[in-house]
Amino acid sequence: MSLPGKPGPTLEAIHAALADDERAALVQSLVESPTPAEAISAVLAANGYAVSASTIRTYRRALRREGVTSV
């Protein structure tokens, strides 16, 4: 499962480094889940993937502007 829209290089790199099932969970949490960006950032950081909550919020805003609400 690929990341919809135009993710930045940090999210693309994290997505590429994950196993298929982890990719699907990441996409779902970024696109469909109401989970706060801070929580997603913390889980990713705890697993060795540094991404700021701001990056996640920016990506989510871009998806909303594009009308992407589900995968």
- pLDDT at residue 63 greater than cutoff 80: yes
Domain annotation covers residue 28: yes
Please give the mean pLDDT across all residues of the chain: 94
Helix axes 9-17, 20-31, angle to 10 degrees: 140
Mean pLDDT of 22-45: 95
Q: Which domain holds residue 44?
A: 9-66
What band does 24 get if pLDDT is binned at 50, 70 and 90?
very high
Would you say residue 1 lies in a domain?
A: no
Average confidence (pLDDT) over 37-48 = 97
Domains contained in the chain, number: 1
CA-wise closest residue to 59 among 40, 46, 48: 40
Q: Is the pLDDT of residue 71 over 90?
A: no
31, 4 in Cβ contact below 8 A?
A: yes
Query: Tell me, what DSSP letter sits at residue 43?
Result: H
Asked if the model's pLDDT at residue 69 lies above 90, the reply is no
Residue 3: inside a domain, yes or no?
Answer: no
39 in any annotated domain: yes
Q: Is residue 2 part of a domain?
A: no
